[in-house]
């Protein structure tokens, strides 16, 4: 993007400057530049807002809209803060416009660590100053300190005290006597440079060709989108590592976005093997110090490679030269609170603004990317085979109508048999069920009363290990009641349906000798626990892994040869626009965990509808046909990616207010060719955290720019303070 005048020109004393604050305001505010101060676009400043002083970013020259007498002066320029690069500023504006969010809300994501704006305080150490003079008191303790420092190297006080076996008081006293002195210790760069010339793995011909293409894209140094489309285990990671290496060789920063960074220990290990160092990591589990170090290093261009979750897209890279979006189809890339954005789509925008290549990697590309590839907007690199001749697993559907599990059981006879065979062969199995807890529903056998969340329109999920019933939406938690509140029956509650905990119980009954591990967000608190569990599985300490979608992502378990999908139909419920696509992607990915190495794998899908085209496509392996049918259906219905959607969720603690606002919005809905407004209707989650929710959906054809239409629409309706309207451009959730 062209740097506008303001970014080159200094804005001097006496002039007006517009400053964007990291707050959900309509836009930047104008201030006066005090005499003697010069500002440039992207610099951090402190400005007054009402009684407060806030941190903001110089957005450009001020406008002439406000009476000069009313303008307040800028308080201070943060001299030691790195400024936000032009590409980041442009990106903030772009994302705000596209997602219909206040620009300040987007800016807040780019300046999420205010502490990083101050330079890190240098560490202080002690070094040798002088020898004790004759007659000066020399205790054994003091002598040990002097001996340690005599080598000339400065020590951290804590290390010195420990090594010399003295207390901090001794050091202070010696400092006072002038025997030792304080110095600033040089700080090591927080992130080493990756060793790009370390020999990587020897690539297969297909891999080498794909890597060469990607290097070519980097050499061109212009915007391009490449879809790296390869079956699970084909070595996509190895291939895009070569693109990362090339980017670093060219002296620019590379960003890799992963959907589930908390589980990325294995990925980091592979990166370290390839490059001899660990990259900067960015996700929500970092400590404040880690965040500060990473943010500052990235802003100063001292973090050559960054791997992170979607929010890493908003970091202040001064010279980004490549983005890789791994598992680009993953729904975790869509952020659904605050600024609603899709990180894959916004990553493409970031690459376009920064004029560099982006790689989208997947074994099951999203329909969006698939269509962009077939229409020639994206290039495709194809890796059709697993590495080293490993076979893709054989996938078979088990028809639950014919192969019924025993009463109150969930594993069908063929699956139980396969588990037993796998155990006998000394191999591992994975039981996949995307349901946390023990049972998704608890009901009274006396009257049919179902235990629901008081704040949400959902059933409470029993977590037997924790001894609680939980709402997965608002976190409400309660003990299981002994008496039914509606009929008074005692101890009549029954668990309905399985969660992973219940499967573990069943496994214990049918294969008591199998060692199992449950892998869900309930059993894994953080990256360290995940790493430990993954290690124990790889080391063969576990025979059967029972897990939710957490296990589906990225892992390589060499001895895993059987995948059992307990309820393949689960994701098809609910009639979501992408239900079939997502189910296909998720089950394909889970299936891809089987037989990634020498031993062939097999996958059993338990389903009530084996004829469903998702099951049929999985069993036949005909992905492209599945995508073609899916695409044709979406096109006929004018649905994304052929049409555009904007979701509006109106919510209020007061049901009447929610209804009134929803009706008012419906009444003033935009009309016009190619535009349709559906609703209002109660949201499927009609009650969430105590708020009543109503939905409207704007549907438009592809050519329509929906943002101005929606902005004008919202401006026509007065929204009372007791209601909230949430706008979701390109919605992925319809709950
Ligand atoms: P994908 O990302 O396509 O699922 P990976 O990059 O994870 O595939 O590769 C699958 C497995 O094969 C990994 O264990 C990886 O280390 C191994 N592998 C892939 N390519 C090579 C290669 N050229 N040489 C050695 N091992 C490879
Ligand atoms: Zn709830």
Could you report the per-residue pLDDT of 362-408, keeping only the tens digit for each? 999 999 999 999 999 999 999 998 887 777 889 999 999 999 999 99
What's the confidence (pLDDT) of residue 392? Answer: 82
CA distance 646 to 658: 19
CA distance 383 to 229: 6
Ligand 1 atom nearest 390 alpha carbon? 12
CA distance 333 to 648: 20
What's the confidence (pLDDT) of residue 8? Answer: 58
Are the C-beta atoms of 225 and 379 separated by less than 8 Å? yes
Inter-CA distances, 712 with 100, 224, 707, 715, Å: 11, 34, 9, 5
CA-nearest residue for atom 15, ligand 1, is 235
Dihedral sign from CA coordinates of 712, 713, 715, 716 = positive
Are the C-beta atoms of 606 and 398 separated by less than 8 Å? yes
645-660 burial: b if 16+ Cβ within 10 Å, else e:
bbbbbbbbeeeebbbb
For residue 479, report the distance from its CA to the centre of ligand 2, in Å.
14
Q: Is 509 in a helix, a strand, or coil?
A: helix
CA distance 557 to 534: 8
- Of 232, 233, 326, 596, the residue with max ligand 1 atoms within 8 A of its CB, to mutate for a pocket test, comes to 233
For residue 22, report the distance from its CA to the centre of ligand 2, in Å.
30
For residue 233, report the distance from its CA to the centre of ligand 1, in Å.
6
Are the C-beta atoms of 459 and 438 separated by less than 8 Å? no
- Ligand at minimal distance from the CA of 452 is 2
Are the C-beta atoms of 311 and 253 separated by less than 8 Å? no
Ligand 1 atom nearest 363 alpha carbon? 3
For residue 653, report the distance from its CA to the centre of ligand 2, in Å.
14
Residue spans of the chain under pLDDT 70: 1-8, 262-263, 554
CA distance 117 to 367: 41
For residue 440, report the distance from its CA to the centre of ligand 2, in Å.
13
Q: Is the pTM of this model over 0.95?
A: no
CA distance 439 to 52: 50
- Ligand at minimal distance from the CA of 234 is 1
Are the C-beta atoms of 328 and 322 separated by less than 8 Å? no
What's the confidence (pLDDT) of residue 678? Answer: 95
Q: What is the dihedral of CA 622, 628, 633, 639, to 10 degrees?
A: 120
Ligand 1 atom nearest 592 alpha carbon? 4
Structure token pair of residue 124: 């202080």
Pocket residues: Cβ below 6 A from ligand 1: 201-204, 207, 230, 232-238, 387, 556
CA distance 728 to 336: 8
Are the C-beta atoms of 533 and 519 separated by less than 8 Å? yes
Ligand 1 atom nearest 230 alpha carbon? 3
Strand residues in 598-702 grouped as ranges (E): 602-607, 643-652, 675-688, 691-701
Q: What is the pLDDT of residues 125-167, one digit of tens each?
A: 899 998 888 888 789 999 999 989 988 888 888 889 999 999 9
- Ligand at minimal distance from the CA of 471 is 2
For residue 470, report the distance from its CA to the centre of ligand 2, in Å.
8
- Ligand at minimal distance from the CA of 598 is 1
DSSP 346-386: HHHHHHHHHT-EEEEEESS--HHHHHHHHTTSSEEEEE-S-
């Amino acid at each position: 993007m062209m740097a506008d005048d303001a970014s080159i020109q200094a804005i001097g004393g006496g002039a007006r400057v517009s400053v964007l604050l990291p707050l959900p305001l309509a836009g930047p505010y104008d201030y006066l530049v005090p005499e003697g101060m010069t500002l440039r676009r992207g610099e951090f400043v402190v400005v007054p807002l009402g009684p407060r002083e806030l941190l903001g970013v110089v957005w450009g020259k001020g406008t002439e809209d406000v009476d000069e007498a009313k303008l307040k002066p800028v308080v201070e320029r943060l001299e030691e803060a790195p400024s936000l690069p032009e590409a980041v500023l442009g990106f903030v504006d772009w994302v705000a416009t596209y997602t219909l969010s206040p620009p300040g809300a987007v800016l807040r994501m780019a300046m999420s660590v205010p502490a990083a704006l101050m330079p890190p305080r240098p560490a202080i150490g002690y070094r040798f100053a002088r020898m004790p003079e004759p007659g000066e008191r020399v205790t054994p303790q003091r002598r040990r300190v002097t001996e340690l420092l005599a080598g000339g190297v400065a020590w951290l006080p804590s290390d010195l005290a420990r090594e010399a076996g003295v207390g901090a008081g001794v050091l202070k006293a010696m400092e006072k006597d002038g025997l030792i002195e304080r110095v600033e210790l040089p700080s090591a760069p927080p992130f080493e440079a990756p060793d790009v010339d370390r020999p990587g793995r020897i690539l297969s011909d297909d891999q080498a060709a794909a890597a060469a293409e990607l290097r070519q894209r980097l050499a061109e140094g212009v915007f391009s989108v490449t879809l790296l489309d390869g079956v699970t285990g084909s070595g996509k990671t190895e291939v895009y590592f070569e693109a990362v290496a090339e980017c670093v060789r060219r002296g620019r920063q590379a960003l890799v976005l992963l959907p589930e960074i908390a589980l990325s220990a294995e990925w980091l290990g592979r990166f370290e093997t390839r490059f001899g160092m660990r990259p900067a990591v960015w996700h929500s589990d970092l400590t404040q110090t880690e965040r500060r170090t990473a943010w500052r290093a990235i802003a100063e261009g001292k973090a050559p490679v960054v791997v992170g979750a979607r929010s890493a897209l908003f970091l202040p890279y001064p010279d980004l030269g490549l983005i890789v979006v791994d598992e680009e189809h993953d729904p975790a890339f869509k952020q659904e609170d605050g600024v609603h954005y899709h990180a894959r789509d916004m990553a493409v925008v970031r690459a376009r603004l920064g004029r560099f290549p982006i790689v989208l990697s997947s074994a099951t590309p999203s329909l969006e990317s698939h269509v962009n590839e077939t229409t020639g907007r994206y290039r495709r690199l194809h890796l059709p085979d697993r590495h080293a001749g490993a076979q893709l697993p054989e996938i078979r559907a088990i028809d639950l109508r014919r192969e019924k599990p025993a009463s109150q059981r969930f594993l069908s006879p063929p699956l139980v048999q396969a588990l037993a065979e796998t155990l006998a062969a000394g191999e591992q199995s994975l039981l996949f069920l995307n349901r946390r807890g023990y049972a998704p529903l608890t009901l009274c056998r006396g009257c049919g009363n179902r235990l629901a969340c008081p704040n949400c329109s959902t059933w409470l999920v029993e977590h037997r290990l924790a001894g609680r019933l939980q709402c997965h939406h608002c976190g409400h938690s309660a003990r299981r009641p002994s008496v039914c509140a509606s009929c008074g029956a005692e101890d009549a509650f029954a668990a309905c349906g399985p969660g992973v905990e219940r499967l573990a119980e069943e496994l214990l009954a049918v294969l008591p000798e199998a060692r199992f591990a449950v892998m869900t967000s309930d059993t894994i608190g953080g990256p360290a626990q995940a790493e430990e569990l993954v290690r124990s599985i790889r080391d063969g300490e576990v025979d059967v892994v029972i897990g939710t979608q957490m296990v589906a992502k990225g892992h390589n378990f060499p001895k895993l040869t059987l995948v059992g999908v307990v309820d393949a139909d689960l994701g098809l419920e609910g009639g979501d626009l992408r239900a079939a696509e997502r189910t296909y992607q998720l089950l394909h990915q889970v299936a891809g965990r089987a037989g990634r190495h020498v031993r062939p794998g097999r996958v059993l899908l338990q389903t009530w509808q084996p004829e469903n085209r998702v099951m049929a496509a999985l069993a036949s392996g005909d992905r492209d046909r599945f995508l073609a049918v899916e695409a044709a259906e979406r096109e006929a219905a004018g649905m994304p990616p052929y049409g555009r959607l904007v979701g509006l969720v109106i919510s209020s603690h007061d049901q009447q207010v929610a209804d009134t606002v929803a009706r008012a919005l419906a009444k003033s809905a935009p009309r016009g060719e190619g535009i349709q407004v559906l609703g209002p209707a109660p949201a499927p989650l009609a009650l969430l955290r105590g708020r009543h929710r109503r939905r409207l959906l704007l549907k438009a054809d592809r050519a329509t720019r929906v943002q101005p239409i929606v902005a004008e629409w919202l401006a026509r309706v007065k929204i009372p303070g007791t209601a909230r309207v949430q706008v979701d451009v390109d919605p992925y959730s319809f709950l």
